[in-house]
């Protein structure tokens, strides 16, 4: 996900060069797939995503007890309205999916809610199953209902946020798509590539944040779907300009990502751009991100934090004695200590040149390693057309084990200069290939093994093989 179209265009160019199929969500494209939260089948989860995003777009810095009370009532109302729309709207509109525009219509026009409830009552079985739901709307949304005026006030913040989002027609086209939406379960199952350009500069802060946060919340719901651990395909999530749309609701990307086989990479301008280090989001990121990288150019507060993050290391500390009269160091050493010293000092970060970085990672033994490195832009050769190679890894995945071909094949001499990757049978290529031309043990099938007792490995001499 990126706020700038230039970044997504570069990724698209590289993917096209390697013949990798990519799905792009771009508000500027009228044919772009949508992010309608009503595609979530679970009513509580759908309502939670909508409420969480709308609440995060509210610009209030400090929340009062009254506002918290109103938001709780609004969340309850949104959950019930989502349930009502999912039950009634498809019946009235040839099976079409409801969207956020229909939800906004419910916020503004309570009479429309009453019409939906009366339509639901026509089905005796559904009306009996949802008697509590109908009673709630009768007490809170019907004409002359005792809680109607209060409910208008409770839903005011959600109404304002949705109305502001839909002022931009491009954003509305993405969030209110009824027919062409991203199927996260299918994309995650197949390990596909998905890009989102939020176009922060084109639409402004709130609309671009709205699209990005709906994308992230729906992505989290897709990762938390009922996959078994063995069937999960590892995924990588790259979030450029995370400070523009990251909030506390995104902390699950870091706290649960390892369980879901998801590697998350984010980029920010500085630490303060996503909150104080004591905030929930920062604590989740810093505690669950073992790999950290800095280009320098930090604020004084960030320099101090990086020094602590890189920690200390032990090294010998020797005090040499200098003889000022003879103008040389003495042969005897002074105090010798096995002392702790800062791994990374501020001066080292401040002295980084262009494309130089300092980084901290975990090695294969789980130990922290810190060092200096150098990075560069993507080489032009990766944007040139490449030939594709298809490999069959399903036989190495627990959820998709396939039977190997039991037919015996002639044992040809393996030539490393003549490796043929094309498949003559039309099937995928086995990614693991072994040179068995000079082997002393010949595997003819799964249950039998023959040995060359004579030590002769000539392919033409088969008489001594038993």
Tell me, what's the pLDDT at 211? 93
At 460, is the pLDDT very low, low, confident or very high (cuts 50, 70, 90)?
very low
174 backbone dihedrals φ, ψ, rounded to 5°: -75, -45
Which two tokens mark 106? 């419910």
Tell me, what's the pLDDT at 132? 94
Tell me, what's the pLDDT at 139? 92
Would you give the end-to-end CA distance of the chain in angstroms?
A: 61
Which two tokens mark 428? 């995928």
DSSP codes, 153-202: HHTHHHHHHHHHHTTSHHHHHHHT-SS-B--HHHHHHHT-EEEEB--HHH
Residue labelled with tokens 């419910």: 106
What percentage of the chain carries pLDDT values higher than 90? 33
What percentage of the chain carries pLDDT values higher than 70? 81
Tell me, what's the pLDDT at 61? 61
Mean pLDDT of 109-113: 94
Mean pLDDT of 338-367: 88
Tell me, what's the pLDDT at 341? 85
Q: Is the pLDDT of residue 225 over 90?
A: no
At 439, is the pLDDT very low, low, confident or very high (cuts 50, 70, 90)?
low
Give the span between the Cα atoms of 288 and 220, in whole angstroms.
16
- Residue 197 region by backbone torsions, left for phi larger than 0, else alpha for psi between -120 and 50, else beta: beta
Average pLDDT for the chain: 82
Contacts of 349 (CB under 8 A, 6+ apart): 294, 296, 298, 303, 306, 358
In this structure, are residues 274 and 285 in contact, taking their beta carbons and an 8 Å threshold? yes
Q: Is the pLDDT of residue 346 over 90?
A: no
At 434, is the pLDDT very low, low, confident or very high (cuts 50, 70, 90)?
low
Which two tokens mark 441? 């043990």
pLDDT tens string 281-316:
888 888 888 899 999 888 888 888 888 888 888 888
Q: Angle at the Cα of 313 (from 284 to 363), degrees rounded to 5? A: 55
454 backbone dihedrals φ, ψ, rounded to 5°: -80, -15
At 416, is the pLDDT very low, low, confident or very high (cuts 50, 70, 90)?
low
At 278, is the pLDDT very low, low, confident or very high (cuts 50, 70, 90)?
confident
Give the span between the Cα atoms of 356 and 308, in whole angstroms.
20
Mean pLDDT of 357-379: 90
At 196, is the pLDDT very low, low, confident or very high (cuts 50, 70, 90)?
very high
Least confident of 67-71, 135-139, 336-340, 391-395: 391-395
Q: Is the pLDDT of residue 15 over 80?
A: yes
pLDDT tens string 125-157:
999 999 999 999 999 999 988 889 889 989 988
At 464, is the pLDDT very low, low, confident or very high (cuts 50, 70, 90)?
very low
Least confident of 14-18, 123-127, 340-344: 340-344
Give the span between the Cα atoms of 245 and 206, in whole angstroms.
9
**Upper half-sphere CA count for residue 193 (Cβ side, 13 Å):** 12
Give the span between the Cα atoms of 77 and 174, in whole angstroms.
24
Q: Is the pLDDT of residue 23 over 70?
A: yes
Alpha carbon dihedral 65, 69, 71, 73, in 10-degree steps, equals 180
pLDDT tens string 42-82:
999 999 999 989 888 876 566 777 777 788 888 999 999 99
At 400, is the pLDDT very low, low, confident or very high (cuts 50, 70, 90)?
very low
At how many degrees (to 10) do helices 65-92 and 110-121 cross? 50
Give the number of other CB atoms < 10 A from CB of residue 193.
15
Mean pLDDT of 204-226: 86
Q: pTM, whole model, 2 decimals?
A: 0.77
Q: Report strand pairing: 22-25 vs 193-196.
A: parallel
Q: Is the pLDDT of residue 102 over 90?
A: yes
Q: Is the pLDDT of residue 210 over 80?
A: yes
Give the span between the Cα atoms of 387 and 317, in whole angstroms.
56
Q: What letter does residue 123 receive in the DSSP assignment?
A: S
């Amino acid at each position: 996900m990126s706020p700038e179209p230039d970044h997504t265009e570069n990724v698209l160019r590289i993917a096209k060069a390697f013949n990798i199929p990519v799905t792009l969500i771009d508000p500027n494209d009228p044919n772009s797939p949508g992010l309608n939260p009503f595609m979530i089948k679970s009513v509580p989860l759908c309502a939670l995503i909508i409420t969480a995003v709308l609440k995060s777009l509210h610009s209030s810095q400090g929340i009062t007890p009254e506002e918290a009370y109103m938001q709780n009532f609004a969340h309850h109302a949104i959950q019930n309205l989502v349930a009502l729309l999912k039950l009634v709207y498809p019946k009235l509109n040839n099976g079409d999916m409801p969207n956020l525009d229909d939800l906004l219509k419910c916020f503004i026009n309570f009479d429309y809610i009453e019409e939906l409830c009366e339509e639901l009552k026509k089905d005796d079985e559904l009306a009996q199953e949802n008697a509590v739901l109908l009673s709630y709307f009768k007490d809170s949304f019907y004409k002359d209902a005792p809680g109607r005026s209060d409910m208008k006030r409770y839903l005011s913040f959600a109404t304002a946020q949705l109305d502001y989002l839909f002022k931009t027609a491009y954003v509305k086209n993405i969030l209110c798509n009824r027919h062409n939406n991203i199927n996260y379960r299918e994309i995650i199952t197949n390990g596909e590539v998905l890009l989102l350009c939020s176009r922060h500069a084109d639409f402004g802060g709130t609309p671009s944040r709205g699209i990005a946060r709906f994308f992230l919340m729906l992505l989290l719901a897709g990762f938390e779907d009922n996959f078994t651990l063995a069937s999960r395909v590892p995924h990588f999530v790259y979030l450029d300009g995370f400070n523009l749309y990251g909030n506390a609701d995104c902390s699950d990307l870091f706290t649960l990502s390892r369980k879901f086989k998801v590697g998350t990479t984010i980029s920010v301008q500085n630490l303060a751009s996503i909150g104080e280090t004591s905030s929930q989001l920062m604590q989740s990121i810093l505690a669950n991100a073992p790999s950290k990288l800095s280009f320098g150019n930090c604020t004084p507060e960030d320099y101090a934090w990086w020094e602590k993050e890189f920690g200390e290391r032990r090294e010998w500390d020797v005090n040499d004695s200098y003889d000022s009269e003879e103008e040389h160091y003495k042969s005897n050493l002074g105090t010798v200590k096995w002392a702790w010293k800062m791994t990374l000092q501020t001066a080292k970060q401040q002295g980084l040149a262009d494309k130089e970085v300092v980084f901290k990672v975990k090695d294969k033994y789980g130990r922290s390693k810190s060092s200096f490195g150098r990075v560069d832009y993507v080489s032009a050769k990766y944007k040139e057309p490449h030939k594709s190679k298809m490999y069959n890894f399903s036989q190495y995945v627990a959820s998709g084990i396939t039977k190997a071909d039991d037919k015996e094949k002639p044992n040809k001499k393996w030539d490393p200069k003549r490796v043929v990757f094309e498949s003559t049978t039309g099937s995928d290529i086995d990614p693991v290939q072994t040179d068995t031309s000079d082997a002393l043990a010949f595997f003819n099938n799964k249950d039998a093994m023959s040995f060359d007792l004579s030590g002769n490995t000539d392919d033409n001499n088969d008489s001594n093989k038993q």
